[in-house]
Amino acid sequence: MSDLDLRRLRYLVAVADEGAITAAAERLEMTQPALSRAIRALEAEVGVPLLVRGHRGVEPTEAGRVLLDEAREIDRRVTRAVGRARRVAAGDDRLRVSARGCDVAVVERLTREFEGSTAVVADWRTQTDGLRTGEADLALIRGGFDRRGLDSDVLAVEPRVALLPEGHALAGRDVLDRDDLAGVPVVVWATDQPAEREFWLGFPGSVAGPEVNDMLQLLAVVRLGRAVAFVSSALPVAAQPGVVVVPVNDLSPAELRLAWREDERSPAVARFVRHAAAVLPTG
């Protein structure tokens, strides 16, 4: 049975991510010759070439891509195991449920009513990464997200509404149609993947407006009249000064999901999922 060095697997991941030995060595804070020797040693252990110099720099071979996928998962599992061991040693073996700032009230309710759990406020840009690495056991996620390696249940389905500046020509309408917003810039999130951006734009053909990193920026952009935004009707935005909330016909709803790792086997996680479904039934 092969006994590979975890560090060398991490070196392989770094080179593949950076596309160059030099850049990977800088990221790993080691010399280029030392990294090259480590990669050659890994290839010798595996018995096949793992990297090749291509038109865009250093690229994995077909065998290298297979090992890379497994290496990333091994690294995530080791990181999760170490994190859990440290939490248990510190006397904190509670389930950690992460949520973004806009969902603090929901996660507070769920964890308050489930003994052995605690709420964690997450950065929405890295929330799913934290779930994969074990920083959290479960996560409340609203809208689109990267679902690789994750499973999830829908807890709530909420209509979306348009946020407009107070002085906008459409701000006095009781309801809007898609055609009313044709050509109007729509706020988008800075780190969205294509599928996520399509969701937040609301309709095919919508014009992408300013990029934002948090809800305060979104509200400021709308208030200044630079764009409109489509958000869940459950978010507490109706009382924001300078911003008007208007329903929109045929706008797809927002889903609030509870997510966990698809390889999760914890009975406590399964119980929490059932608990959340009972507290927040989708129907």
Enumerate long-range contacts of 67-70, CB under 8 Å, 24 or more apart: 67/9, 67/12, 68/12, 68/13, 68/16
Low-confidence stretches of the chain (pLDDT beneath 50): 1
What is the predicted pLDDT for the residue at 259?
95
What is the predicted pLDDT for the residue at 239?
61
Bin 230: left if φ > 0, else alpha if -120 < ψ < 50, else beta: beta
CATH assignment, 94-156+255-279: 3.40.190.10
Angle, in degrees to the nearest 10, between helices 21-28 and 6-18: 130
Q: Where do the domains of the chain lie? A: 6-86, 94-156+255-279, 160-252
Q: What is the pLDDT of residues 51-91, one digit of tens each?
A: 998 777 889 999 999 999 888 888 877 877 777 777 777 76
CATH assignment, 160-252: 3.40.190.10
Pick the CATH number of 6-86 from 1.10.10.10, 3.40.710.10, 1.10.10.60, 1.25.40.10: 1.10.10.10
What is the predicted pLDDT for the residue at 238?
58
> Does this chain's domain 6-86 share its CATH topology with 94-156+255-279?
no
pTM of full prediction above 0.85: no
